[in-house]
Structure 1
Amino acid sequence: MFAALCTLALAVPLGNPRVGAAIAAVAVLGALAVTDGPLFELLAYPSDYEAGRLYGIVTLVLAGATLGLIAVTTSMSVAVFVGTVLLVGYGNLAEQLAHRWTDRDVVHTAAFCVVATVAAVAGQSAARSIADGATLESLSPALPTMLFLGASGALLASLLRDILFANDDPVVMLTVGLLGWLLAELEPALALSGGEIVAALAVTVAFGYASYALETASIAGMLTGILLGLLTIVLGGYGWFAVLISFFAIGGLSSKYRYEEKAERGVAEDNNGARGSGNVLGNAAVALGAVLGYAASSATLLPGNPEPSLFLFAFAGSVATAMSDTLSSEIGSVFETPRLITTLEPVEPGTDGGVTWQGEIAGVAGAAVVAGISYGLFDAVTTVGAAIIVAAGVVGMTVDSLLGATLEGRVLGNQSVNFLATLSGALVCALLVLSFAVLG
């Protein structure tokens, strides 16, 4: 029934927006009229039982109607709207069927993502065929983009359902639809073939599952890493992905370094060192923004047409900061008593803003690793550029420690500190490169 309701989204390209609005109104009124009985039991969300109304279905239909309204009044395509709604509906169906087969959460997640991706591609294809009269042959050039949009949406939806908005499908639907709209606007930057998109998916899924199997990431952390990796490969390239994955791999393994000793000192990562979505996003959100900025700049979608290489350096600076901070914390925490960065007074291990000289050296080495990879992979990164990336990583690591000593725990949380530190590293890197370009 849930999937069938979502299939009604095809009414928009089949008829017109008025038909879709009429069907949505009937569905809302019908849901409000059902207060008990087998149909209520079939469609009720857990929170609906106390209210005695199918408010879950009502909000789902209203979310779909809102997304449809956006699609017919803005530049969002109807195909993205239909693909999004079918993605949520049939992904949910697959996940529920997987629950009957096994108790393994990773299998439930995989079932949702695979079927949701297929449903999204089918929905986009059907909408294009109905609205534009497109044939299978004329749809072929658009299939890589549709696959990319479907896979990205499926990964985001699964992530939101797993951690951020559990059982809140209306919010998931709206968020995924907006992501699809954004990525579709970057179509001029999507030059990969269908085989290359599949290869990108295979690579990112392999790395993501490896992080889960090695217990360096939770399911949510795995999904976040796969989504970030896919967007990075498609919108940036494999060189960008190599820089990003170096942080995930080295940073994840560093959390296992002398883990028992760190656990005894009370400074070990929770969940046996497995990083969740909050940790991944706190360290990589700025890098993702740089990738999107690079794609938008390459497609000449940004005002002023900024130089795409600036976003490359911002990306490298943010990843260098994340690597520096992670290695500084994970390696430095097992050595002698740390000192508060603002006063240099000895503090207890795990104190926010506490640093050790061993950790500082490890942080510089982490930034140097990112700079070395960037120097080897990108023609735009010269010797001076590599030095700037190292400097940006060290600056970002220092900002993280300063924020930890002054604001963390009172004004900011750990992930907010990570975000601001990586943002400072990205800005310093881009500004230094811009300054050298002007002076040179």
Structure 2
Amino acid sequence: MTAPVRRASVFAIICTFALAVPLGGPEVGAALAAVVILGAFAVTDGPLFDLLAYPSDYEDGRLYGLITFVLATVALGLIAVTTSMTLAVFVGTVLLIGYGNVAAQFTRQRTDSDVVIVTVFCLVAAAAAIVGQAATVTITDGAGTFESITSTLPLMVFLGASGALLAALLRDVLYSNDDPIVMLAVGLLCWLLAELEPTHALPEIVAALVVTIALGYVSYALETASIAGMLTGILLGLLTIVLGGYGWFVVLISFFAIGGLSSKFRYEQKATMGVAEDNNGARGSGNVLGNAAVAIVAVLGYAASSAALLPGGHDPSLFLFAFAGSVATAMSDTLSSEIGSVFDTPRLITTLEPVEPGTDGGVTWQGEVAGIVGAAVVAGISYGLFPEVTAVGAGIIVAAGVVGMTVDSLLGATLEGRLLGNQSVNFLATLSGAIVCALLVLSFAVLG
């Protein structure tokens, strides 16, 4: 057994101590955490230090990796005992990180395939989270345990899968010893999702996982998404299906599919011109989030509004239009950029002066037409899937997409490269599309 596997195994055992909170109460859990932290400060060398130390710990001669890991666990436990976060979410999150890490380290010793390592991590982490939640329910519920587990199993699976995907994504984009950050992020996400109280049955949750994982892997196999982009897409797709519905997912996946394929349009020509996406057009997590973050916030807003968690009594359908407006913007901007960039006569949107292909803020009439068509595709899909989207509503979605595309070009010509990066510009553009769509819907009283 190699050193990384041994260290991860010990950390997993320490994570199992989280069960002390439902078993003996917060006081027992705090006492165990204090013992581990004091012991970590006391051990500065020797075999035990070598067993528990991250490479960076040797420079300081302290087990700071273990200490910060336990402190993150304590912080999450404090949130659980002082807020509406359940102990099941707390325990499930801690076991998810601990045992997922063991599985990843063990697999890494046997293969160099990043996809295999990520897959094993997600499977074991999700299983550990489900077992941890079920064990906590068993400990705390007493009578009626079987009924409690049966009734909450769909939620446990949803939280376990969502947490595992987020953890795998963060582990891919952060440093390997950033597990405290990963743990807190996963715990907060699972807490939020539990508060939304999704009501799907277990077969529906499993079906959503199968659909999103299959499409995510296809995007990776076709080289339209990196591993991080694949994980981000799967997570966003799962949340969209469970919290919104398959109609919402179809709208979102239309962007990923058409946008991803458009990056392959005349790719060699774009590469020669210096305007092609990096990594053979495979989109990473930053690109996916820059284009889809507003959409997923709209899905969360829809779920929160439907669950009456938002003040003011907002019509949930308003979030549907905000969602469609943001996706229409992303589709419009992506097609405009990917198709318009192959034409060598772009003009700067602010002055209409000719500029070099690939210049931020440069537009072509061919790209503008492609962008309008992209917004119309999203509007047409929305019109066909959602009764709330009338012909007027579809027109509003097209208008919002075109406005968002224009905002993207204006930001590119004025702020990108100086104050904003590409992903920030994408985010602000999709946000503008969502806001414009929602405001136009309210103005035209489309919601009736």
State if a TM-score over 0.5 links the two structures: yes
What's 2:312 paired with?
304
Match of 1:115?
124
Deviation at 1:97, TM superposition (A): 1.2
Deviations 1:219-262 (A, max 9, x none): 00000000000000000000000000000000000001100100
Q: What residue identity is the alignment partner of 1:243?
A: V
Q: Find the counterpart in structure 2 of residue 144 from structure 1.
A: 154
Aligned match for 1:125, one of 129, 134, 137 = 134
**Alignment identity in percent?**
80
Change (3 A) 1:439 1:322: closer
What residue is the counterpart of 1:254 in the other structure?
Answer: 262
Q: Pick one of 283, 289, 312 that aligns with 2:291.
A: 283
Q: Structure 1 residue 43: deviation in Å?
A: 1.2
Q: What are structure 1's unaligned runs of at least 5 residues?
A: none
Q: What residue is the counterpart of 1:426 in the other structure?
A: 434
Which AA in structure 1 matches 2:79? I
- From 72, 87, 97, the equivalent of 2:96 is 87
- Describe the superposition over 1:289-312 as per-residue Cα deviations: whole angstroms up to 9, x where unpaired: 000000000001100110000000
**Aligned partner (choices 375, 378, 384) of residue 392 of structure 2:** 384
Does structure 2 conserve the Cα–Cα contact (< 8 Å) formed by 1:165 and 1:171? Answer: no
Cα distance in 1 for partners of 2:444, 2:320 equals: 15
What letter corresponds to residue 70 of structure 1 in structure 2? Answer: I
Whether the 8 Å CA contact 1:160–1:166 is kept in 2: the answer is no
| Cα separation, 1, equivalents of 2:345 and 2:147 | 67
| Residues 322-374 of structure 1 deviation map (CA, whole Å, 9 limit, x = unaligned) | 00000000000001310000000000111100000000000000000000100
1:43 aligns with 2:52: yes
Give me the whole-angstrom Cα distance separating, in 1, the residues matched to 2:106 and 2:272. 42
Residues 98-136 of structure 1: CA deviation (Å, up to 9, x unaligned): 112211000000001011001001101111111222522
1:198 correspondence with 2:175: no
Provide Cα deviations, 1:173-224, integer angstroms capped at 9, x if missing partner: 011001111111100xx12100110000000000100011111100000000
Question: C-alpha distance in 2, partners of 1:87/1:336?
Answer: 51
CA displacement, residues 385-409 of structure 1 (integer Å, 9 cap, x when unaligned): 0000000000000000000000001
CA contact (8 A) 2:348 2:413 kept: yes
The CA distance in 2 between the partners of 1:192 and 1:92, in whole Å, is: 29
For 2:53 and 2:174, the matched residues in 1 are separated by: 21
The aligned residue for residue 443 of structure 2 is 435
Deviation at 1:45, TM superposition (A): 1.1
- After TM superposition, the score normalised by the length of structure 1 is 0.98
Counterpart residue type for residue 221 of structure 1: G
Aligned-pair CA distance for 1:438: 7.7
State how far apart, in whole Å, the 2-side matches of 1:166 and 1:286 are: 28
Contact 1:144 / 1:197 at 8 angstroms: preserved in 2?
A: yes
Separation of aligned partners in 1, 2:176 and 2:264: 29
Output the CA distance in 1 between the equivalents of 2:442 and 2:117. 47
- Count of aligned pairs: 438
The answer to whether the Cα contact below 8 Å between 2:159 and 2:193 also exists between their aligned partners in 1 is yes
TM (normalized to structure 2)?
A: 0.97
